[in-house]
Each structure stands twice: as structure tokens, then as C-alpha cells.
Amino acid sequence: MNAVVFPPAAVRPPWRRLQARCRAGLVLLLAALWLAVLLPAGPAVAAPALTLEALMATLAQVKSGEARFVERRHIQSLDRTLESSGRLSFAAPSVLVRETLSPRPDRLAVDGNTVTMTAGGRSRTLALDATPEAQVLVEAIRGTLTGNRATLERLFTPRLSGSLERWTLELVPRDAQLRGQVARVQVSGRQAVLREMQVLLADGDETVTQIEPLPAR
């Protein structure tokens, strides 16, 4: 009678060896996932800094536009804020129109170096560069709206911060005499849309203009 020979305990059937390998692989996978949760993530990749050149190129793509504005002026000698509202429009490269509707209607139209002011049924025309303090205020918004980097850098020392989604451009007049009147102009926006303009005068008076773009016609 032949003896029955049993396989050694160390020898496992093939299906058991496969099952053991699968179990070991699952354990390693779970361990890797657990470590991924526990270990701190690597440093986030920062978005490239927005440059003045890139912002101006973005703004220059918009050739015309209209917006509503609300302007609030805080004058040091008064204990209240003066508010006005109306419409702004521009057409590249050099046309800017500000039409105040409240509290009293008036209109300021700039075309190149020519300024026409209309109020109370009367109009007056003058050269923009004949009044340097007015020129820096006009060019701060016109130069930004049209992406005119050359004009902005000629009249101001620009300082840009933020990203294209939310940027702020600070403009300090280069001329020392003008800085004695206009300390700085700060323009803020999102992509190619201006949303706010702040003007700080040397005497402490401040004007903040909120801008709400209107749909294109």
C-alpha cells in the first residue's frame, strides 16, 4: 500500500500565492494613500507677476466703452462728502467724455489735446496741456483706458500690483510742481475693465470714483 504524501506546509497552491500578492499590493497602496494625506503638499506654483506691459496690452484691446460713474469728493474744509453721478465714455486713441447728470448737468469732452467744457448752456474750449494739473487727471484715466503706456510713463511714475483678475495701478506725477497739487492717482480694475479711480490731492482732499461698465451697444 502506497503512503499518502502531503505537500509541505510551506508550499501553497498557486491561487493562494496570488491572493497573498494581491493583499500585499493593497496594503502598499493604502499606505501610499495615507502618506499622501498626512504629508504636507508641495509649495504652490505662483502665478507670474503682472507687468505694466501686459496690462497695457490687455487694456489696449478694448477700443471703446461706456460706463456709469458715482463720484464722492471728501473736502477737508467741509464736514460732508459731495456726490455726483453720470456717464463716462471713451473711444481710442484719444476721445474721453464725462457727462455729469446729478446734481447739476455738465459735460467735459476731451479729443486729443482739445478740451470742451459745457455747463448751463455755455461752452468753453481750451488746450489740455495749458492746464497741467487737469492734464494729469485726464491722462490718468484716458491713458489707462486706452492702454497708452508711453503717456503714463511720461507723466507719472507707475507702480502696479495685483494680478490681471484684480489689479491696482498707482500713478505719481513726475513733475515736482504737479505733485504739490496732485499727490497721486490710483486706478483699479479687473482684466480690461476699470472699476475705481482715486485721486489724492496734496492738501488731503480725496475723490473716489466708482465705475460700472455698461453693456456694449
Domain boundaries, the chain: 52-213
For 75-120, strand residue ranges (E) read: 81-91, 95-102, 106-111, 114-119
Q: Are strands 206-213 and 182-190 parallel, antiparallel or unpaired?
A: unpaired
pTM listed for this prediction: 0.77
Per-residue pLDDT tens, the chain, 217 aa: give them.
Answer: 444 443 444 445 554 554 555 455 544 444 443 433 344 444 545 567 899 999 999 999 999 999 999 999 999 888 889 999 999 999 999 999 999 999 999 999 999 999 999 999 999 999 999 999 999 999 999 999 999 999 999 999 999 999 999 999 999 999 999 999 999 999 999 999 999 999 999 999 999 999 999 987 6
Range 129-135 contact pairs with CB under 8 angstroms and sequence separation of 24 or more: 132/175, 132/177, 132/178, 133/178, 133/181, 133/182
Top-level CATH class of 52-213? mainly beta
